[in-house]
Amino acid sequence: MATGRTHRPATRSRGIPEATVARLPLYLRALTALSERSVPTVSSEELAAAAGVNSAKLRKDFSYLGSYGTRGVGYDVEYLVYQISRELGLTQDWPVVIVGIGNLGAALANYGGFASRGFRVAALIDADPAMKGKPVAGMPVQHTDDLEKIISDNGVHIGVIATPAGAAQQVSERLIAAGVTSILNFAPTVLSVPDGVDVRKVDLSIELQILAFHEQRKAGEEAAAVAGAADDVVTPPPLRADTAAAAAAAAASRKGPDGDVPAVMPA
Amino acid sequence: MATGRTHRPATRSRGIPEATVARLPLYLRALTALSERSVPTVSSEELAAAAGVNSAKLRKDFSYLGSYGTRGVGYDVEYLVYQISRELGLTQDWPVVIVGIGNLGAALANYGGFASRGFRVAALIDADPAMKGKPVAGMPVQHTDDLEKIISDNGVHIGVIATPAGAAQQVSERLIAAGVTSILNFAPTVLSVPDGVDVRKVDLSIELQILAFHEQRKAGEEAAAVAGAADDVVTPPPLRADTAAAAAAAAASRKGPDGDVPAVMPA
DNA sequence: CCATCTTTGTGCACGCGTTCACAAAGGCAT
DNA sequence: ATGCCTTTGTGAACGCGTGCACAAAGATGG
Ligand SMILES: NC(=O)c1ccc[n+]([C@@H]2O[C@H](COP(=O)([O-])OP(=O)(O)OC[C@H]3O[C@@H](n4cnc5c(N)ncnc54)[C@H](O)[C@@H]3O)[C@@H](O)[C@H]2O)c1
Ligand SMILES: NC(=O)c1ccc[n+]([C@@H]2O[C@H](COP(=O)([O-])OP(=O)(O)OC[C@H]3O[C@@H](n4cnc5c(N)ncnc54)[C@H](O)[C@@H]3O)[C@@H](O)[C@H]2O)c1
């Protein structure tokens, strides 16, 4: 069981660093584009630019896969596409089920890029009886009652969860019990899964909050640059009296009227 | 313009490490749940479990914000919710525009959790004239012609791109020219943006490919454990003659009538 | 066959992030 | 008050990821 682990810490991908694995799809996408334009070879510099990374990083990444380049020339595009595809396991077919066919689930089901890389939507599953049999993306929605059978009949190892957060943990347990060992979770919850099961999450809200943090930071720096850096508004340093008071009020909302809690951020 | 940088390397969030910033929303979510259950205080151990992280990591993360805990007791839930919200900039309102109201864009527009943390969908924008004025999530879709005016009138700094990949770069340029400085990109492309602009990407296909890599790895290890670890199939080590031949054939798939081509993907 | 020029592959150093482990802090009971 | 017990906050060690810089490899032209 273990506590909700979010990424793949256990598997310890022998040899290839996790950071490299995460970039391989990026390289593959850039290479595919080159391949379509019939470009025969590409240098690490060019490919790195197309993938939006540093060329040294790219070369080091490729070095984990083997020596597939030719010095003085670059990399053979088609050959590299094949090698990366093989390394990522895209030379085989991966049946996938999507659970929770609401707004998001339906959009995912309709997503073309889904099938373009060896992933095949094997089934769409929803708990709503009214959805049963209803076609979404040209495929009938099936009921959760048949989840186990669907997973096992199709040899599914990868599941996508797009249910409300409250149902996600339970759905993940059923998926795992039925044989799924990799989950892509769109529900905003931490999933607790056994060792050996990989979970990756996509959380729109978290991404926006991270952007907001930096955005606020920019606004603060800008204000500090314009003004004499005396006023605060959003900067972390001290904290104005009224803001501190609000914080104190929130903190004291339970017990006595200890109206203290001065300027925070001591350490 | 710089090459497509993907994450926030420039901003150098003074003080708070990027990895910590990325976890703050996780803590906030867990704390909000506790708050709703009227739990007054929580220990680092409990909160860490709820957020799916290590308790030492959580304490260190909080130490960057300040000393908000009480030794022997734990953290005041309400107070911490306030502090993290403030740090993330969620105490203010963030108007957001979504560009590209197709399957995904519509799902995002309908997403309730969007507005729950200070983010407000200020406008939905699409290039399709047929979409103009059509209500999606109770809001009329506006045409791209008015993009600049919408951004400026609403003081939008955060934009979400859900257009096809081919249009993403151009859309990002218009957004940025109009004043957007943070972009959440759902299109599978590397965006080239000027310094000072943050881009975060959500790419379903990449996530699935990473899962496939580990899935393949699991299958390989399993097979190796069962069999005598002699056969390859997917293991990285050397490269057998026939495998190399297949690769070479794939590389030549463009010119000659080599009717093979493994499983490699096209699009 | 040799010289030159381009580009790979990688040794190395550095910085960030994670984790351990513990002293200090504070509540609480006596 | 005093001592015990819990939990925080953090110093320090470690490991991973990144980027530099360059020697080696190989293509290409003479
Ligand atoms: N829509 C988005 O843009 C978006 C963005 C980020 C995250 N999310 C998250 O994705 C999830 C789905 O979002 P949505 O907007 O599609 O919600 P939705 O309500 O439109 O769809 C949820 C679907 O899940 C089904 N469902 C409920 N319980 C189930 C169960 N136990 N087993 C199988 N199916 C079940 C429902 O019948 C419904 O069809 C939510 O957790 C949401 O927070 C959505
Ligand atoms: N649907 C998914 O689940 C999913 C998942 C991952 C990634 N994506 C990516 O998200 C993007 C959108 O996917 P989708 O399924 O919603 O596609 P879609 O074709 O349904 O929608 C695209 C929308 O963008 C609009 N558009 C096109 N060019 C535009 C422009 N220049 N300015 C403004 N709007 C423009 C179109 O009119 C259309 O409404 C694609 O890049 C896709 O690869 C989608």
Q: Which of residues 191-220 of A touch B (CB under 8 A)?
A: 192, 196, 198, 200, 202-218
Look up the pTM and report it.
0.86
Proximity of residue B3 CB to strand D below 7 A:
no
- Over residues B40-58, the mean pLDDT reads 98
pLDDT band at B162 (very low <50, low <70, confident <90, very high): very high
Q: Rounded mean pLDDT of B28-42? A: 97
pLDDT score at A115: 79
Q: Does position A10 have pLDDT exceeding 70, yes or no?
A: no
Mean pLDDT confidence for B42-56: 98
pLDDT per residue over B120-142, tens digit each?
A: 999 999 999 999 999 999 999 99
Q: Return the CATH architecture of domain A94-206.
A: 3-Layer(aba) Sandwich (3.40)
Which SS3 state, helix, strand or coil, does residue A127 take?
A: coil
How far apart are alpha carbons B240 and B248 in whole angstroms?
12
* CA nearest neighbour of B199 among B186, B187, B184, B189: B184
Residue among B142, B179, B137, B143 nearest B158 (CA): B179
Q: Within 7 A of a protein CB, which nucleotides of strand D?
A: 5-11, 16-21, 24-28
Q: Taking residues B79-100, report their average pLDDT.
A: 97
CA atoms within 13 A on the CB side of B247: 18
Q: Which residues contact B215 (CB under 8 A, 6 or more apart)?
A: A89, A94, A157, A158, A181, A182, A198
Answer for the pair A78, B253: CB distance below 8 angstroms, yes or no: yes
The pLDDT, as a whole number, for residue B14 is 52
- Give the mean model confidence (pLDDT) for residues A159-173: 98
The pLDDT, as a whole number, for residue A245 is 40
Q: What is the pLDDT of residue B246?
A: 42
Q: Residue B158: which of B107, B122, B116 has the closest Cα?
A: B122
Distance of CA A102 to the CA centre of its chain: 20
Lowest mean pLDDT among A118-127, A227-236, A245-254, B67-76: A245-254
Question: Is B209 within 8 Å of A91 when comparing Cβ atoms?
Answer: no
Q: What is the mean pLDDT of residues B16-35?
A: 98
Reported as a pLDDT band with limits 50, 70 and 90, residue A113 is confident
Q: What is the mean pLDDT of residues A57-70?
A: 96
Please state which of the ranges A123-132, A249-258, B71-80, B125-134 shows the lowest mean pLDDT: A249-258
Task: State the pLDDT at residue A14.
Answer: 52
| pLDDT for position B1 | 34
CA of A78 vs C1' of D26, distance in Å? 20
User: Would the pLDDT of B252 be above 60?
Assistant: no
Neighbouring C-beta atoms of residue B58, cutoff 10 Å: 24
- Checking if the pLDDT of A75 tops 50, the result is yes
Q: Does B38 touch chain A (CB under 8 A)?
A: no
Helix B44-51 × helix B18-36 angle, to 10°: 100
* CA distance linking residue A148 with residue B205, whole number of Å: 25
User: CA geometry: angle at B191 spanning B181 and B111, to 5°?
Assistant: 65
List the Cα angle A258/A264/A265 in 5-degree steps: 150
- Nearest CA to CA, how far is B144 from chain A (Å)? 22
Task: Kindly identify the ligand whose nearest atom is closest to the C-alpha of B202.
Answer: 2
The atom of ligand 2 lying closest to the CA of B100 is 24
Q: How far apart are CA B11 and CA B198, in angstroms?
A: 9
Q: How many CB atoms lie within 10 A of CB A133?
A: 10
Which of A122, A82, A83, A126 minimizes the C-alpha distance to A104?
A: A126
Residue closest to A196 by CA, chosen among B209, B214, B233: B214
Tell which wins on pLDDT, B254 or A198.
A198
Residue in the block written with tokens 């979404």: A136
Q: B167-188 burial, b if ≥16 CB within 10 A, otherwise e?
A: bbbebbebbbebebbbbbbbbb
Cα of A90 vs centre of ligand 2, distance in Å, is 24
| Pairwise pLDDT comparison (A2 vs B51), residue with the higher score | B51
Count of CB atoms situated within 10 Å of the CB of A219: 17
d(Cα A132, Cα A141) in Å, to the nearest integer? 5
Separation CA B267–CA B253 (nearest Å): 15
CA B246 to chain centre: 36
The encoded tokens of residue A115 equal: 């099938």
* Chain pair A-B, CB pairs under 8 angstroms: 285
pLDDT of residue A130 exceeding 50, the answer is yes
Decide if pLDDT at B234 tops 80: no
| Mean pLDDT in residue range B114-118 | 81
User: Which of A153-157, A214-218, B252-256 is predicted with the least confidence, judged by mean pLDDT?
Assistant: B252-256
CATH number attached to the domain at A10-88: 1.10.10.10
Nearest residue of chain A to residue B248 (CA atoms) = A79
- Is the pLDDT reported for residue A4 higher than 60? no
B209 and A116: CB-CB below 8 Å?
A: no
Instruction: Determine the average pLDDT of the residues in A90-108.
Output: 97
Structural contact between residues B235 and B247, judged by C-beta atoms closer than 8 angstroms? no
By the 10 Å C-beta count (0-12 exposed, 13-18 middle, 19+ buried), B161 is classed as buried
Q: Please state whether strand D lies within 7 Å of residue B8 at its CB atom.
A: no
Higher pLDDT, A220 or A151: A151
pLDDT in tens, B180-219: 999 999 999 999 999 999 999 999 999 999 999 999 999 8
Give mean pLDDT, residues A96-109: 97
Average pLDDT score over residue span A160-175: 98
Average pLDDT over residues A68-89: 97
pLDDT of residue A227: 65
- Alpha-carbon separation of residue A70 from A26, A106, A200, B225, B236 (angstroms): 21, 45, 35, 36, 20
Q: Tell me the pLDDT of chain B averaged across its residues.
A: 84
8 Å CB contact between B204 and A114? yes
The pLDDT, as a whole number, for residue B228 is 53
Which of A118, A93, A101 has the alpha carbon at shortest distance from A171?
A: A101
The pLDDT value given to residue B115:
79
B118: pLDDT strictly greater than 50: yes
A171-207, pLDDT tens digit by residue? 999 999 999 999 999 999 999 999 999 999 999 999 9
Residue ranges per domain, chain B?
Answer: 10-88, 94-206
Asked whether the beta carbons of residue B207 and residue A202 sit closer than 8 angstroms, the reply is yes
